[in-house]
Amino acid sequence: MLRSACTDENLVTLLRHRVDQMPDACAYVFLMDGEHQEQSITYKELDSRARMIAGYLQATHKAGERALLLYPSGLDYIVAFFACLYAELIAVPVYPPSRHHLRRLEAIIHDATPTIILTTTEWQSKLQGNGQENWGQNCFDWLVTDQQLSGNATPGWKAYLLKPDSLAFLQYTSGSTGTPKGVMVSHGNLMANQRAIQAAFKHSDDTVVVGWLPFYHDMGLIGNILQPLYLGVPAILMSPMAFLEKPIRWLNTISKYRATTSGGPNFAYELCARKITPEQINTIDLSCWNLAFNGSEPVRSTTLNRFADVFSSCGFRKTAFFPCYGLAEATLFVTGRAY
């Protein structure tokens, strides 16, 4: 069962409801090093920080303007995303800029025409000159959201009426087969997909989510960040790089926090099966892992069988696998079934 309430109107109502019902409950834990360095935030803290930023955004920008989110993985990203929702600005989550993703980022900026870039102090110094030189635009406002904003100096947040067809954010496609295209995701789309994920995955109040997927990707944002909020359960998160550097970090975190739901693309299971040593396997307990979703690229039965064989000794059950299919154009989840 899920926590009772009318929580599926929109994301703003959903978070405000969590604040009313369970203000001091932990919403998100972020493992900065993928292991021990924890940052956490409660529903009340998330709401307070989002409203403070949103008050500034409402005073300086018009509803419907686009706001580019340029962040590394972390709690600042989540706060900025909700600040945009609270301010009725349209968030545009994007890849962190690098030489591999710069052209994609330029294409998204050209298409979305944002009026403001939200980022951190560290990243602003790295990005601001780059933006003016390479992105061909000099008219962005910049807001550094990890600096302490004074509540007295920041205009108060003003609540507004949201409808199901109100636009929440732009989710850009990967651009692997062409120029990235922005998918207009409404609050109604998000709530419908959250209900679909909860029903298909059989999530409940006892669900615990662990994830390392990118926050700017639909599976990371809608699956690992918004689904736990929808359920009112904690999410324990780390960066993709933390997982790629040491795949055991993912499984260690599932074991430590007794996660019931976690997953990723097929390659993640393959990487774990090939890289994690027998000595490492002896230190983890995966008997808590009830649903291991596998999506975003072709699901290979050979990978599932190999992973199940390698990790059966630490409690992993093959029946936990949940191959699924989704795409940004459908918000996220489209179909899936137990293995």
Domain limits, the chain = 11-187
Helix axes 11-21, 43-60, angle to 10 degrees: 140
Task: Return the percentage of the chain with pLDDT > 90, whole number.
Answer: 73
Phi, psi of 32 (to 5 degrees): -65, -35
Q: What is the DSSP letter of 217?
A: S
- The per-residue pLDDT of the chain, averaged, comes to 90
Worst-scoring range by mean pLDDT, 22-36, 152-166, 231-245, 257-271? 152-166
CB neighbour class for 306 (10 Å; exposed up to 12, middle 13-18, buried from 19): middle
pTM above 0.85, yes or no: yes
CA distances from 278 to 161, 189, 301 (A): 55, 44, 22
DSSP 36-93: S-EEEEEHHHHHHHHHHHHHHHHHHS-TT-EEEE---SSHHHHHHHHHHHHHT-EEEE
Taking only the tens place, the pLDDT of each residue in 291-315 is: 999 997 899 999 999 999 999 999 9
101, pLDDT greater than 80: no
139, pLDDT greater than 80: no
Please state the rounded mean pLDDT for residues 216-230.
95
Contacts of residue 261, defined as CB under 8 A and 6 or more positions apart, other chains included, come to: 201, 203, 207, 208, 209, 210, 289, 290, 291, 293
Taking only the tens place, the pLDDT of each residue in 250-288 is: 999 999 999 999 999 999 999 999 999 999 999 999 999
121, pLDDT greater than 60: yes
Task: Return the percentage of the chain with pLDDT > 70, whole number.
Answer: 89
pLDDT of residue 221: 96
How is domain 11-187 classified at the architecture level of CATH?
3-Layer(aba) Sandwich (3.40)
170, pLDDT greater than 70: yes
136, pLDDT greater than 60: no
pLDDT of residue 125: 80
Please state the rounded mean pLDDT for residues 185-207.
96
Contacts of residue 92, defined as CB under 8 A and 6 or more positions apart, other chains included, come to: 66, 67, 68, 69, 108, 112, 114, 169, 170, 172, 182
